[in-house]
Amino acid sequence: MESREWRATLATVSVVFVLLIAGCTTTVDSGTTSSPTIDNRTSPTSIPTEGSLEIHFINVGQSTGILLQSSDNETMLIDTGDFRTDGEDVLQYLQNHDIQRIDHLVSSHNDADHIGGHEAVINYYENEAGGVGAVYDPGLAASSQTYEGYLDAVETHNVDLFEVRAGDSIPFDGASVQVLSPPEDYLSGEARNENSIVLKVSHGSFQYLTTGDGEEAAEEYLVETYGDGLETNLFKTGHHGSDSSNSAELLAATSPQVAIVSSAYGSQYGHPHEEVLQRLSERSIDTYWTAVHGTIVVTSTGQRFSVATQAAAPTEPLQLRQAESVEPGTGGPVERRHTYDVLGGSTSGPTVTPRTTQSGVSLSLAQVHADAAGDDGENLNDEYIVLRNTGDQELDLSGWTVTDAAGHQYEIPSGVTLAPGATLTIRTGAGTNTDTDLYWGASSPIWNNGGDTVTVRTDADEVVLTEAYS
């Protein structure tokens, strides 16, 4: 057993590391910190896939609040919003979603815009709910009253507080949670942003990376230390989408399918910066922003993941600011917008393969019109595919999905049927659905002009059509 200690202005907090013992699920695993690695990179099927994993990006304005929840209701809360609201939006969200306990509370770093609700969350769950299992911290103190209040709450309720480093892992039901940074020897003279806790969450073949407010030094460390081991499907943009983070080198190493930005619509810092949005756009990364999409919920099955949002808004990074803002704390349900197959190098594992076709289903791809007239991006409804019922029975297509090779998905609305011999056109852009034409509602082209693959699945996830075109 080893221990680290650091002193706050009003309190001294002892921080204890306990080696993970086989079968133990309540302690931090202190791995080797001199040469950190990412486990299970070459064997994604060995990563836990028990049930589903939900990741909630709570709309907290110019701040961050991220809730992870397993299918068995184990929870991890990463940051708690801004000090100016005392974490009110985060705590209200947790209460509205009947979260009875916080098993793991992670402080990405101790700036007041990230730990603003720590004191309130700890006090509420320790006094009125099921408690807080443990708190995880990079160990660099701040001089703010927010930080002092956080430590006072930890001490008052005797909550276990662990200081973590690269090579540690946090036990979590059905997933692997690894700490990639900060290193044992802090970066950049112990600057808090640069020494944010960086987590890699693996759920089956699905990977999620969150880097706190890490900037140039942190990103250089990550790329140099892990290289293509950083490859991920879901990436929480660093430092609220700041150009001081999210470098071209990090984006190349992570190669995400989806990026999430958590910042205010009218951020006084201009987040997300246009330079970052340009980089994301150049890499064709679908981007969701809490300021216009509202709260965002990503659900992983291990092989696929869906994105649900409160508001419909563009996902093309350079079009995000064209959408209307969603105020922090806005209530209301989320709706599923897109589903993605897990892709990308060694993180992907096997892609979803065709299974036994549904009995009696005869569906063909009658036409692909990928090259719209003029500019594809400005004439989205002239990009379309046509499906034909080649059987002798009417098909109920309710809840069926259409995906491309990149994992973009459209779900056919409830009540859509296709008579024998009839065709159904699915157009990429927005419009009013009819009996013969449906509208994907995408903000950018889906079907590649040079070739792609069309896959259709039933609402029971049975593949009834997969056809490539060139």
Q: Where are the domains of the chain?
A: 12-348, 363-469
What does the angle CA 188 – CA 239 – CA 234 come to, to the nearest 5 degrees? Answer: 115
Peptide bond into 182 cis (omega under 30): yes
What pLDDT score does 233 carry? 95
Q: How far apart are the first and last CA of the chain?
A: 60
The fold adopted by the segment(s) 12-348 is Metallo-beta-lactamase; Chain A (3.60.15)
Residues recorded for the chain = 470
What pLDDT score does 398 carry? 93
Question: Structure pTM?
Answer: 0.69
Give the H or E element holding residue 6: strand 2-7
What does the angle CA 279 – CA 285 – CA 290 come to, to the nearest 5 degrees? Answer: 95
Per-residue pLDDT of the chain (470 residues; tens, 9 = 90+): 233 333 232 233 333 333 222 223 334 554 433 334 444 332 333 455 558 999 999 999 888 999 999 999 999 999 998 888 888 999 999 999 999 999 999 999 899 889 999 999 999 999 999 999 999 999 999 999 999 999 999 999 999 999 999 999 999 988 999 999 999 999 999 999 899 999 999 999 999 999 998 889 999 999 999 998 999 999 999 888 888 999 999 999 999 999 999 998 988 888 899 999 999 998 889 999 999 999 999 999 998 999 999 999 999 999 999 999 999 989 889 998 888 888 643 232 222 222 233 445 788 888 888 988 888 889 999 999 999 888 888 899 999 999 998 889 999 999 999 998 888 999 999 999 999 999 999 999 999 888 888 999 998 888 888 888 87
What pLDDT score does 15 carry? 36
What the block records as the tokens of 62 is 């110019």
What burial class does residue 51 get, using C-beta atoms within 10 Å of its C-beta: 0-12 exposed, 13-18 middle, 19+ buried? middle
Helices (H), 310-401: 345-348
What pLDDT score does 130 carry? 96
The fold adopted by the segment(s) 363-469 is Immunoglobulin-like (2.60.40)
Helices (H), 97-228: 118-128, 145-156, 216-226
